[in-house]
Amino acid sequence: MLYSAPIQHNQISAVMTPDRIGLDALRAIPSANILVIDPDIRGMRECIQAFGERGWHVEVAECFVDALRLLEGPLYDLVLIEISLPDMLGTEAWTFIRKMNPRVSAIMTTSSRSLHQAINALGQGASAYLLKPLDTQLLCNLIQQMLELRSAKSEIKQLRTRLVGLHNLFSALTCATSPDQIYDKTLAHLRAIVHYDLALMYGTSPRSTDLVRVGSHSTLLLPTTLNESQSEFVEAAARECIETLQPIVLTRSYPDKLDKWELPEDFDLKSCALVPLIGQRSVYGVLATLSSHLIEPSQEPIQLEILVALAQVMAMALDKVSISEKLASLEQARPPNGE
Protein backbone atom coordinates (compact mmCIF):
# COMPACT_ATOMS: atom_id res chain seq x y z
CA MET A 1 0.00 0.00 0.00
CA LEU A 2 1.23 3.48 -0.81
CA TYR A 3 0.94 6.07 1.92
CA SER A 4 1.47 9.78 2.17
CA ALA A 5 1.66 11.25 5.65
CA PRO A 6 1.26 14.97 6.43
CA ILE A 7 3.55 15.27 9.43
CA GLN A 8 2.87 17.82 12.12
CA HIS A 9 5.16 18.75 14.99
CA ASN A 10 3.66 16.48 17.62
CA GLN A 11 1.20 14.45 15.60
CA ILE A 12 1.39 12.28 12.54
CA SER A 13 -1.52 10.90 10.57
CA ALA A 14 -0.91 8.45 7.75
CA VAL A 15 -3.39 8.76 4.90
CA MET A 16 -3.70 7.21 1.47
CA THR A 17 -1.96 9.08 -1.30
CA PRO A 18 -4.06 11.34 -3.53
CA ASP A 19 -5.85 9.61 -6.35
CA ARG A 20 -3.43 9.00 -9.18
CA ILE A 21 -5.37 11.29 -11.48
CA GLY A 22 -4.35 11.06 -15.08
CA LEU A 23 -1.55 8.56 -14.49
CA ASP A 24 -2.56 6.40 -17.43
CA ALA A 25 -2.78 9.50 -19.58
CA LEU A 26 0.71 10.57 -18.55
CA ARG A 27 2.05 7.16 -19.52
CA ALA A 28 0.33 7.41 -22.93
CA ILE A 29 2.52 10.33 -24.05
CA PRO A 30 6.08 10.16 -22.67
CA SER A 31 7.79 13.50 -22.03
CA ALA A 32 10.67 14.47 -24.29
CA ASN A 33 13.19 17.17 -25.20
CA ILE A 34 13.38 17.49 -28.98
CA LEU A 35 15.84 19.47 -31.10
CA VAL A 36 14.81 20.35 -34.66
CA ILE A 37 17.68 21.28 -36.99
CA ASP A 38 16.25 22.50 -40.27
CA PRO A 39 16.85 25.62 -42.39
CA ASP A 40 13.15 25.68 -43.32
CA ILE A 41 11.69 26.36 -39.87
CA ARG A 42 8.55 27.81 -41.47
CA GLY A 43 7.91 24.50 -43.23
CA MET A 44 8.33 22.65 -39.93
CA ARG A 45 5.91 24.91 -38.05
CA GLU A 46 3.00 22.45 -38.12
CA CYS A 47 5.14 19.63 -36.74
CA ILE A 48 6.65 21.85 -34.05
CA GLN A 49 3.18 22.96 -32.96
CA ALA A 50 2.02 19.33 -32.79
CA PHE A 51 5.03 18.47 -30.62
CA GLY A 52 4.12 21.22 -28.20
CA GLU A 53 0.51 20.03 -28.01
CA ARG A 54 1.80 16.65 -26.84
CA GLY A 55 3.81 18.23 -24.06
CA TRP A 56 7.17 17.80 -25.76
CA HIS A 57 9.73 20.56 -25.23
CA VAL A 58 11.09 21.74 -28.59
CA GLU A 59 14.13 23.82 -29.55
CA VAL A 60 14.88 24.83 -33.14
CA ALA A 61 18.06 25.66 -35.05
CA GLU A 62 18.48 26.58 -38.71
CA CYS A 63 22.05 25.31 -38.97
CA PHE A 64 24.49 23.12 -37.11
CA VAL A 65 26.42 26.04 -35.59
CA ASP A 66 23.20 27.28 -33.96
CA ALA A 67 22.43 23.73 -32.85
CA LEU A 68 25.81 23.46 -31.12
CA ARG A 69 24.88 26.29 -28.75
CA LEU A 70 21.70 24.46 -27.79
CA LEU A 71 23.51 21.14 -27.43
CA GLU A 72 25.64 22.66 -24.65
CA GLY A 73 22.51 22.79 -22.49
CA PRO A 74 20.24 19.99 -21.21
CA LEU A 75 20.42 16.66 -23.04
CA TYR A 76 17.92 15.96 -25.80
CA ASP A 77 15.98 12.74 -26.25
CA LEU A 78 15.57 13.17 -30.00
CA VAL A 79 16.99 15.29 -32.82
CA LEU A 80 15.13 15.85 -36.08
CA ILE A 81 17.77 16.72 -38.69
CA GLU A 82 17.42 17.88 -42.28
CA ILE A 83 20.00 16.20 -44.53
CA SER A 84 20.86 19.42 -46.39
CA LEU A 85 22.01 21.96 -43.78
CA PRO A 86 23.60 25.29 -44.78
CA ASP A 87 26.93 24.51 -43.08
CA MET A 88 27.28 20.71 -43.37
CA LEU A 89 25.47 17.51 -44.22
CA GLY A 90 22.88 16.37 -41.70
CA THR A 91 24.58 12.96 -41.49
CA GLU A 92 27.84 14.65 -40.45
CA ALA A 93 25.98 16.72 -37.86
CA TRP A 94 24.35 13.56 -36.51
CA THR A 95 27.73 11.84 -36.12
CA PHE A 96 28.99 14.76 -34.03
CA ILE A 97 25.80 14.95 -31.94
CA ARG A 98 25.91 11.24 -31.26
CA LYS A 99 29.42 11.57 -29.83
CA MET A 100 28.21 14.32 -27.51
CA ASN A 101 25.18 12.34 -26.34
CA PRO A 102 25.26 8.59 -27.13
CA ARG A 103 21.73 8.13 -25.76
CA VAL A 104 20.04 10.54 -28.17
CA SER A 105 17.95 9.24 -31.10
CA ALA A 106 17.70 10.82 -34.55
CA ILE A 107 15.24 11.11 -37.39
CA MET A 108 16.67 12.34 -40.69
CA THR A 109 14.44 14.33 -43.06
CA THR A 110 14.95 15.41 -46.68
CA SER A 111 13.21 16.36 -49.88
CA SER A 112 15.63 14.21 -51.87
CA ARG A 113 14.65 10.68 -52.83
CA SER A 114 18.27 9.53 -52.95
CA LEU A 115 18.52 5.90 -51.85
CA HIS A 116 22.21 6.40 -51.09
CA GLN A 117 21.44 9.15 -48.56
CA ALA A 118 18.82 6.99 -46.85
CA ILE A 119 21.17 4.02 -46.55
CA ASN A 120 23.98 6.27 -45.29
CA ALA A 121 21.76 7.90 -42.66
CA LEU A 122 20.39 4.63 -41.32
CA GLY A 123 23.86 3.08 -41.45
CA GLN A 124 25.12 5.81 -39.10
CA GLY A 125 22.54 4.96 -36.46
CA ALA A 126 19.58 7.17 -37.32
CA SER A 127 16.29 5.63 -36.23
CA ALA A 128 14.33 6.72 -39.31
CA TYR A 129 14.62 8.51 -42.65
CA LEU A 130 11.54 10.50 -43.75
CA LEU A 131 10.75 12.26 -46.99
CA LYS A 132 9.23 15.75 -47.06
CA PRO A 133 6.56 16.99 -46.96
CA LEU A 134 6.21 15.33 -43.57
CA ASP A 135 2.99 13.72 -42.36
CA THR A 136 2.62 15.35 -38.93
CA GLN A 137 0.48 12.60 -37.42
CA LEU A 138 2.76 9.86 -38.73
CA LEU A 139 5.83 11.69 -37.39
CA CYS A 140 4.27 12.18 -33.94
CA ASN A 141 3.28 8.51 -33.76
CA LEU A 142 6.79 7.48 -34.77
CA ILE A 143 8.38 9.71 -32.11
CA GLN A 144 6.03 8.41 -29.44
CA GLN A 145 6.91 4.81 -30.33
CA MET A 146 10.62 5.64 -30.17
CA LEU A 147 10.20 7.28 -26.75
CA GLU A 148 8.21 4.33 -25.42
CA LEU A 149 10.84 1.88 -26.70
CA ARG A 150 13.60 3.92 -25.12
CA SER A 151 11.72 4.06 -21.82
CA ALA A 152 11.12 0.30 -21.88
CA LYS A 153 14.81 -0.39 -22.53
CA SER A 154 15.78 1.91 -19.67
CA GLU A 155 13.37 0.18 -17.29
CA ILE A 156 14.68 -3.25 -18.29
CA LYS A 157 18.24 -2.09 -17.63
CA GLN A 158 17.23 -0.73 -14.21
CA LEU A 159 15.43 -3.96 -13.33
CA ARG A 160 18.48 -6.03 -14.28
CA THR A 161 20.67 -3.84 -12.07
CA ARG A 162 18.22 -4.17 -9.21
CA LEU A 163 18.00 -7.93 -9.57
CA VAL A 164 21.78 -8.23 -9.42
CA GLY A 165 21.81 -5.92 -6.38
CA LEU A 166 19.11 -7.93 -4.65
CA HIS A 167 20.92 -11.19 -5.36
CA ASN A 168 24.17 -9.82 -3.93
CA LEU A 169 22.41 -8.45 -0.87
CA PHE A 170 20.51 -11.68 -0.17
CA SER A 171 23.76 -13.64 -0.45
CA ALA A 172 25.43 -11.25 1.98
CA LEU A 173 22.58 -11.38 4.50
CA THR A 174 22.67 -15.19 4.68
CA CYS A 175 26.22 -14.91 6.05
CA ALA A 176 25.43 -12.18 8.60
CA THR A 177 25.87 -13.20 12.22
CA SER A 178 24.80 -10.02 14.03
CA PRO A 179 22.27 -7.18 13.62
CA ASP A 180 25.10 -4.71 12.95
CA GLN A 181 26.31 -6.86 10.05
CA ILE A 182 22.79 -6.97 8.63
CA TYR A 183 22.46 -3.17 8.80
CA ASP A 184 25.92 -2.59 7.33
CA LYS A 185 25.51 -5.10 4.49
CA THR A 186 22.09 -3.72 3.59
CA LEU A 187 23.37 -0.15 3.38
CA ALA A 188 26.39 -1.32 1.38
CA HIS A 189 24.19 -2.89 -1.32
CA LEU A 190 21.15 -0.61 -1.16
CA ARG A 191 22.29 1.93 -3.76
CA ALA A 192 22.24 -0.71 -6.49
CA ILE A 193 18.63 -1.57 -5.67
CA VAL A 194 16.80 1.74 -5.12
CA HIS A 195 17.56 5.39 -5.84
CA TYR A 196 18.13 7.71 -2.89
CA ASP A 197 20.41 10.43 -1.60
CA LEU A 198 20.38 9.45 2.05
CA ALA A 199 19.47 6.12 3.65
CA LEU A 200 18.87 5.78 7.39
CA MET A 201 18.43 2.69 9.52
CA TYR A 202 16.58 2.95 12.82
CA GLY A 203 16.55 0.18 15.41
CA THR A 204 14.21 -0.27 18.35
CA SER A 205 15.73 -0.16 21.78
CA PRO A 206 15.09 -3.37 23.80
CA ARG A 207 14.78 -1.39 27.05
CA SER A 208 12.62 1.52 25.87
CA THR A 209 10.34 2.72 23.10
CA ASP A 210 13.01 5.04 21.71
CA LEU A 211 14.41 4.63 18.23
CA VAL A 212 18.15 4.49 17.77
CA ARG A 213 19.86 5.31 14.49
CA VAL A 214 21.98 2.25 13.76
CA GLY A 215 23.35 3.15 10.35
CA SER A 216 23.33 5.61 7.47
CA HIS A 217 24.61 5.91 3.92
CA SER A 218 24.81 9.04 1.79
CA THR A 219 25.55 9.90 -1.81
CA LEU A 220 27.43 13.07 -2.74
CA LEU A 221 24.21 15.07 -3.10
CA LEU A 222 23.40 15.22 0.61
CA PRO A 223 25.40 15.34 3.83
CA THR A 224 25.49 12.24 6.00
CA THR A 225 23.75 14.07 8.85
CA LEU A 226 20.46 15.92 9.22
CA ASN A 227 19.94 18.99 11.33
CA GLU A 228 17.76 18.83 14.44
CA SER A 229 14.42 19.69 12.82
CA GLN A 230 15.03 17.31 9.93
CA SER A 231 16.01 14.49 12.30
CA GLU A 232 12.88 15.06 14.39
CA PHE A 233 10.77 14.99 11.25
CA VAL A 234 12.16 11.66 9.99
CA GLU A 235 12.17 10.06 13.46
CA ALA A 236 8.54 11.03 13.97
CA ALA A 237 7.66 9.37 10.67
CA ALA A 238 9.66 6.29 11.69
CA ARG A 239 7.75 6.01 14.99
CA GLU A 240 4.47 6.26 13.12
CA CYS A 241 5.70 3.59 10.72
CA ILE A 242 6.34 1.22 13.65
CA GLU A 243 3.06 2.02 15.42
CA THR A 244 0.96 1.39 12.31
CA LEU A 245 3.17 -1.41 10.92
CA GLN A 246 2.68 0.19 7.52
CA PRO A 247 5.08 1.77 5.03
CA ILE A 248 4.89 5.52 4.62
CA VAL A 249 5.78 7.59 1.56
CA LEU A 250 6.17 11.36 1.83
CA THR A 251 6.49 13.07 -1.54
CA ARG A 252 6.18 16.41 -3.27
CA SER A 253 5.04 14.75 -6.49
CA TYR A 254 1.62 16.39 -6.16
CA PRO A 255 2.11 20.19 -6.10
CA ASP A 256 -1.62 20.81 -5.59
CA LYS A 257 -1.37 19.03 -2.22
CA LEU A 258 1.56 21.03 -0.87
CA ASP A 259 -0.68 23.38 1.09
CA LYS A 260 -1.56 20.43 3.36
CA TRP A 261 2.07 19.73 4.23
CA GLU A 262 3.81 21.03 7.31
CA LEU A 263 7.41 20.28 6.45
CA PRO A 264 10.35 21.93 8.21
CA GLU A 265 11.27 25.11 6.33
CA ASP A 266 14.81 23.89 5.65
CA PHE A 267 13.69 20.42 4.60
CA ASP A 268 14.70 20.44 0.95
CA LEU A 269 14.12 16.72 0.39
CA LYS A 270 11.35 15.96 -2.08
CA SER A 271 10.59 12.34 -1.22
CA CYS A 272 11.00 10.03 1.75
CA ALA A 273 10.01 6.36 2.03
CA LEU A 274 9.94 4.43 5.30
CA VAL A 275 9.27 0.71 5.77
CA PRO A 276 9.09 -1.21 9.08
CA LEU A 277 11.27 -4.26 9.73
CA ILE A 278 8.62 -6.68 10.99
CA GLY A 279 9.93 -9.97 12.36
CA GLN A 280 8.04 -13.01 13.63
CA ARG A 281 7.83 -11.78 17.21
CA SER A 282 9.09 -8.21 17.20
CA VAL A 283 9.56 -5.07 15.13
CA TYR A 284 13.28 -4.47 14.70
CA GLY A 285 13.15 -0.95 13.35
CA VAL A 286 12.67 1.12 10.19
CA LEU A 287 14.52 1.54 6.90
CA ALA A 288 14.20 5.07 5.49
CA THR A 289 15.36 6.38 2.11
CA LEU A 290 15.39 10.12 1.37
CA SER A 291 15.81 11.81 -1.98
CA SER A 292 16.35 15.38 -3.14
CA HIS A 293 14.66 14.75 -6.51
CA LEU A 294 11.12 13.91 -7.46
CA ILE A 295 10.23 10.29 -8.07
CA GLU A 296 8.23 9.65 -11.22
CA PRO A 297 4.62 8.76 -10.27
CA SER A 298 4.90 5.47 -12.16
CA GLN A 299 8.04 4.59 -10.17
CA GLU A 300 6.65 5.23 -6.67
CA PRO A 301 4.85 1.88 -6.30
CA ILE A 302 7.89 0.03 -7.68
CA GLN A 303 10.27 1.77 -5.28
CA LEU A 304 8.01 1.04 -2.33
CA GLU A 305 7.41 -2.60 -3.25
CA ILE A 306 11.16 -3.17 -3.50
CA LEU A 307 11.74 -1.54 -0.12
CA VAL A 308 8.97 -3.61 1.48
CA ALA A 309 10.44 -6.83 0.06
CA LEU A 310 13.89 -5.79 1.21
CA ALA A 311 12.57 -5.04 4.71
CA GLN A 312 10.99 -8.50 4.87
CA VAL A 313 14.29 -10.15 3.98
CA MET A 314 16.12 -8.03 6.56
CA ALA A 315 13.56 -9.01 9.20
CA MET A 316 14.03 -12.69 8.36
CA ALA A 317 17.80 -12.31 8.71
CA LEU A 318 17.32 -10.52 12.03
CA ASP A 319 14.98 -13.32 13.19
CA LYS A 320 17.66 -15.84 12.31
CA VAL A 321 20.30 -13.94 14.29
CA SER A 322 17.96 -13.52 17.25
CA ILE A 323 17.15 -17.24 17.35
CA SER A 324 20.83 -18.15 17.03
CA GLU A 325 21.71 -15.85 19.91
CA LYS A 326 18.97 -17.37 22.10
CA LEU A 327 20.14 -20.90 21.29
CA ALA A 328 23.72 -19.95 22.12
CA SER A 329 22.55 -18.44 25.40
CA LEU A 330 20.61 -21.59 26.28
CA GLU A 331 23.63 -23.73 25.48
CA GLN A 332 25.79 -21.67 27.81
CA ALA A 333 23.18 -21.81 30.59
CA ARG A 334 22.73 -25.60 30.35
CA PRO A 335 24.57 -27.39 33.18
CA PRO A 336 27.37 -29.79 32.23
CA ASN A 337 26.53 -33.49 31.91
CA GLY A 338 26.50 -35.31 35.26
CA GLU A 339 25.69 -32.24 37.39
**Where exactly does CATH 3.30.450.40 map onto the chain?**
3-16+175-331
For 173-205, the pLDDT digits (tens) are 888 899 999 999 998 888 888 878 888 999 987
Of the candidate CATH numbers 3.40.1440.60, 3.90.180.10, 3.40.50.2300, 3.50.50.60, the domain formed by 31-150 belongs to 3.40.50.2300
What residues have CB less than 8 Å from 159, skipping those under 6 apart? none
**DSSP at 89:** B
pLDDT of residue 212: 85
- Specify burial of residue 313 (Cβ count, 10 A radius: 0-12, 13-18, 19+): middle
Tens digits of residue pLDDT in 46-73: 999 999 999 999 999 999 999 999 998 8
Cα–Cα dist 139/305, whole Å: 37
- Looking at CATH, the fold of the domain delimited by 3-16+175-331 is given as Beta-Lactamase (3.30.450)
| pLDDT score recorded for residue 50 | 95
What average pLDDT does the structure give for the chain?
79
Distance of CA 6 to the CA centre of its chain: 22
Span 236-257, pLDDT tens digits: 889 989 989 999 887 665 444 4
- Supply the pTM of this predicted model: 0.60
- Cα 269 off chain centre by: 14
pLDDT tens digits for 156-181? 888 888 888 888 888 888 888 999 99
Query: Which tens digit of pLDDT belongs to each residue from 316-337?
Result: 999 999 898 888 888 887 776 6
CATH 3.40.50.2300: which residues of the chain? Answer: 31-150
| Position 22 pLDDT exceeds 50 | no
Q: Does a cis peptide bond (omega within 30 degrees of 0) precede residue 133?
A: yes
**Confidence grade of residue 26 (pLDDT, cut at 50, 70, 90):** very low
Separation between Cα atoms, residue 302 and residue 155, nearest integer Å: 11
What distances in angstroms separate CA 191 from CA 179, 185, 224, 277, one per listed residue?
20, 11, 15, 18
pLDDT interval class at 7 (50, 70, 90): very low
| Cβ within 8 Å of residue 173, ≥6 positions away | 182, 185, 186, 313, 314, 317
Written as one string, the DSSP assignment of 173-234 is: HHT--SHHHHHHHHHHHHTTTS--SEEEEEEE-TTSS-EEEEEEEE-TTS-S---HHHHHHH
CB–CB of 140/160 below 8 Å?
no
Strands across the sheet with 105-110, in order? 57-61, 33-37, 78-82, 105-110, 128-131
> How far is it, in rounded angstroms, from Cα 126 to Cα 92?
12
* Model confidence band, residue 219 (pLDDT cutoffs 50, 70, 90): low
User: Strand order of the sheet with strand 211-218?
Assistant: 211-218, 198-204, 283-291, 271-278, 248-251
